[in-house]
Amino acid sequence: MKHIAVVEDDLFIAARIEDVITHHFEGVQVKSYHSVDEFWSAQMAQPFDIAVLDIMMARGQLFSEVLSKGGLLTGALLLDKLKQQFAKETKVIISTGIDDPDLARKIILEDHAVFFAKPYNPERLIPVIEDLLAR
């Protein structure tokens, strides 16, 4: 069974993404996390195959030191940690409302993650997840 995490502090967006994935994929377990600390504890216990990660998340106990452009980039810290410790196990899809072409370019080119700028239709995740699960 494949495992997908939705790391999103907006409860509505998290539920919508989780519903789309659950209804489209059989044999895939989806779990939403509304804080980076909650997700990180689960990731350390059993790495996820895919993480759909919001960049602007509230501060956590583990990830709290970066402030940028007036917003918290706690999810960016989490992305760096995932890349360092789980690059082979966990593929990342970034879901963010940050309108910053430089950040998007960095995420795609340097972090090898898929980038979605909010707002977007969560149905657009389906072919990306299919591709990532097939790898």
The residue extents of the domains of the chain are: 2-134
How far is the C-alpha of 40 from the C-alpha of 46, rounded, in Å? 10
Could you give the angle at the alpha carbon of 117 between the alpha carbons of 108 and 30, nearest 5°?
85
Query: Counting beta carbons within 10 angstroms of the beta carbon of residue 14, is it exposed (0 to 12), middle (13 to 18) or buried (19 or more)?
Result: buried
Determine the pLDDT at residue 33.
95
Compute CA 44 distance to the chain's CA centroid, rounded to the nearest angstrom. Answer: 15
Determine the pLDDT at residue 66.
46
The closest alpha carbon to 111, from 127, 96, 121, 133, belongs to 96
Determine the pLDDT at residue 71.
43
How far is the C-alpha of 99 from the C-alpha of 133, rounded, in Å? 28
How far is the C-alpha of 111 from the C-alpha of 107, rounded, in Å? 5
Specify the fold of 2-134.
Answer: Rossmann fold (3.40.50)
Determine the pLDDT at residue 31.
97
Q: Identify any residues that bridge with 96 across adjacent strands, giving them in sequence order.
A: 117
Predicted model pTM: 0.87
Residues in contact with 109: Cβ distance below 8 Å, sequence separation at least 6, in sequence order: none
The closest alpha carbon to 49, from 2, 98, 17, 101, belongs to 2
pLDDT less than 50: residues of the chain: 61-71
For 32-59, give one letter per residue: b (16+ CB within 10 A) or e.
bbbbbbebbebbeeebbbbbbbbbbbeb
Determine the pLDDT at residue 98.
79
Determine the pLDDT at residue 60.
56
